[in-house]
Amino acid sequence: MKFIPQEIIRKKRDGYPLDKSDIESMVRGITDESVSEGQVAAFAMAVFFQGMSMQERIDLTVAMKNSGTIIDWPTFGFKSGVVDKHSTGGVGDKVSLILGPLAAACGAFVPMISGRGLGHTGGTLDKFDAIPGYDTTPDLETFVTVTREAGCAIIGQTSDLAPADRRLYSIRDVTATVESIDLITASILSKKLAAGLQGLVMDVKYGSGAFMEKYEDARKLAESIAHVATGAGVPTVALLTDMNEVLGHSVGNALEMQEAVDFLTGKYRDSRLMQVVFVLTGEMLILAGLARDIGEATIKMNAALDSGTAADCFGTMVKGLGGPVDFVQKAAEYLDAAPVEMAVYPESAGFVTAMDNRAVGMTLVAMKGGRIRAEQPIDYGVGMTNFAHIGDKIGPDVPICRVFARDEEQANMAAERIREAVQVGLDRPADRPVVSERIAGVA
């Protein structure tokens, strides 16, 4: 039967389920551009309003995965242990920088395909771009070689992985159809599944600094991703984690890279960041068959950090992808640092009771350390460090954070925004869990 895009659009518009062949035909048309931009937009809008069943989501994800190259790790000699993690993003989220080499040091292989920051959320690739010479777009041979030698390689999406997603997302971005759990699920997973994973851990964040601010929305996305990925053949576990405050103590690309190096070398390890890193990495080790449970995984992770093996894996990865051979030892010498440092003190003493974490992220954007449009250049050296956590006491002698800016005007602007984003009260708020829930996919 001849493929008629408008008939599939009409079918979904009227609330009828699409069968596998319908979805495969539409994805094929999106990829080869036989389906017009207007038809892609209409299809996205129909899905946005009518939704998709779990089977439709699986079929869409698999079809988008199959629209380009699929990496077959066993053909390169990786018989087992190829796992990855993906995050929905947040403010100060430098988990991947630590998790990749930590999992590798415990015996896993982590070929991680990451993205750039947009809006208030930071991007993993932007943090690696802060390292001189680091290549986030290597060829496949280099990607495989570094993964083999370092145990991990963190790069960006190549043009031949899930090309249907690239076109569909670009159209969703300008047609107000981004906020669809069905389409978000397929977009995230098509790229991850094309990377040939044997297991995936998903970090779905909720709160003021997350893409999904409401817990209920984040939970729906976590369930969708876990079940769709598992149904598509990749065992997946999703964890819901808190993003109501900065994760770790720094915000800004070079500053977060330095924090990650300090974590791996043992110079400083923020307790909330460590909880998230250990739970996510532990789940990866279990999926890879390298640990029976979180307890055994924790023993292995502590050993990998204490021995310096995790830091070594990070250094090998940086070197393999074009960065300095001594980056771990001399990170501060290689990373850009804005020259003006300013402590940001609160207007009154007390406990940090709440934080508008999105506003913190947008402060970095206002300093040109983030971007609103994908093509915008960013300043890697600006940002904030030593951020107080919710529940910490601050006052005239204890700042909210320290700002690193290009000039005093920029520093003052950032300081004012940070003061407005942080609420201070006389009573210490109750502690909140950093990791709230675990959802395992069901095939």
**Known catalytic residue at 127:** no
| Distance (Å, whole) CA 186 – CA 199 | 17
Question: Of the residues 86, 120, 300, 402, which is catalytic?
Answer: 86
Distance between start and end Cα atoms, the chain: 31
Of 192, 418, 314, 434, the closest CA to residue 184 belongs to 192
**Known catalytic residue at 120:** no
Amino acid at 240: L
**Known catalytic residue at 205:** no
**Known catalytic residue at 368:** no
Question: Of the residues 158, 187, 281, 363, which is catalytic?
Answer: 187
**Known catalytic residue at 14:** no
Sheet of strand 422-425, all strands in order from the earlier edge strand to the far edge:
393-394, 350-355, 422-425
**Known catalytic residue at 67:** no
Question: Of the residues 94, 167, 192, 402, which is catalytic?
Answer: 192
Question: Of the residues 57, 94, 127, 191, which is catalytic?
Answer: 191
Question: Of the residues 87, 180, 208, 236, which is catalytic?
Answer: 87
**Known catalytic residue at 87:** yes
Amino acid at 196: G
Question: Of the residues 61, 65, 67, 84, which is catalytic?
Answer: 84
**Known catalytic residue at 124:** yes
| Distance (Å, whole) CA 355 – CA 70 | 42
Question: Of the residues 12, 57, 85, 167, which is catalytic?
Answer: 85
Helix or strand or coil: residue 6? Answer: helix
Q: Where are the beta strands (DSSP E) in 128-279?
A: 152-156, 199-206, 236-242
Mutual orientation of helices 253-265 and 95-105 as an angle, nearest 10°?
Answer: 30
Token pair recorded at residue 228: 């769709």
Place of tokens 């971007």: 371
The two beta strands, 401-405 and 340-344, are antiparallel
**Known catalytic residue at 172:** yes
| Distance (Å, whole) CA 437 – CA 439 | 7
The two beta strands, 83-87 and 199-206, are parallel
Residue 405: strand pairing partners: 340
Question: Of the residues 61, 124, 250, 385, which is catalytic?
Answer: 124
Question: Of the residues 172, 319, 358, 402, which is catalytic?
Answer: 172
Residues that are catalytic: 84-87, 124, 172, 187, 191-192
